[in-house]
């Protein structure tokens, strides 16, 4: 591909991404949304974030499901979730999660 073509492609990619991000922000208030859609928006953060988190914990590297204690990410994620639930402290949750990840991967190894 020649350089000009590459540049045009990247600019068009930027436009597509920007318009996707702008879509509802710009359209909001221009027409009446059904009540169900407005109620549904409340669940966007919990749904999207959970959908990002769980595969990162349970299918590391895109592999098969691994919920064994030899999966340090899973163990660290569960501990972090418990800390977040009990304390609601973001920084403490993150520090605990990373420390458990490092400690667990150093200490616990898959047999064989």
Partner 1 sequence: MAMSNRSEFFAGIRAQVPILLGVTPFGMIYGVLAISAGLPTSLAQAMSAVVFAGSSQFIATNLFATGAPFVVILLTTFVVNLRHALYSASVAPYVSALPLRWKLAVAYLLTDEAYAVAILRYRAEGSEPVAGGHRASPHYYYLGTALALWATWQASTAVGIFLGAQVPASWGLDFALPITFIALVVPALKDRPSVLSAVVAGAVALAAYGWPYKLGLMAAALAGIATGLWAELLKLEAARS
Q: Which of residues 33-92 bind partner 1 (CB under 8 A)?
A: 36, 39-59, 62, 65, 73, 76-77, 80-81, 84-85, 88-91
Non-local (6+) Cβ contacts of 68 within 8 A are 74
* In the complex, least distance from residue 19 CB atom to partner 1, rounded to whole angstroms: 8
* In the complex, least distance from residue 86 CB atom to partner 1, rounded to whole angstroms: 10
Calpha distance 38→32 (Å, rounded):
10
Position 99 contacts partner 1 (CB under 8 A) = no
HSE-CB for 23 with a 13 A CA cutoff: 6
Calpha distance 102→38 (Å, rounded):
42
Q: Which is nearer to partner 1, 4 or 111 (CB)?
A: 4
Calpha distance 9→93 (Å, rounded):
41
* Site residues (vs partner 1, CB under 8 A): 1, 3, 5-14, 16-18, 20-29, 36, 39-59, 62, 65, 73, 76-77, 80-81, 84-85, 88-91, 93-94, 97-98, 101-102, 105
């Amino acid at each position: 591909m020649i350089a000009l073509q590459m540049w045009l492609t990247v600019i068009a990619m930027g436009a597509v991404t920007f318009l996707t991000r702008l879509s509802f922000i710009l359209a909001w208030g221009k027409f009446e949304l059904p009540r169900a859609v407005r109620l549904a928006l409340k669940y966007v953060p919990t749904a999207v974030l959970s959908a990002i988190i769980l595969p990162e914990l349970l299918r590391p590297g895109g592999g098969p499901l691994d919920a064994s204690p030899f999966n340090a990410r899973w163990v660290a994620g569960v501990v972090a979730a418990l800390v977040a639930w009990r304390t609601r402290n973001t920084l403490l949750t993150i520090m605990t999660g990373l420390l458990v990840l490092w400690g667990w991967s150093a200490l616990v190894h898959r047999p064989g």
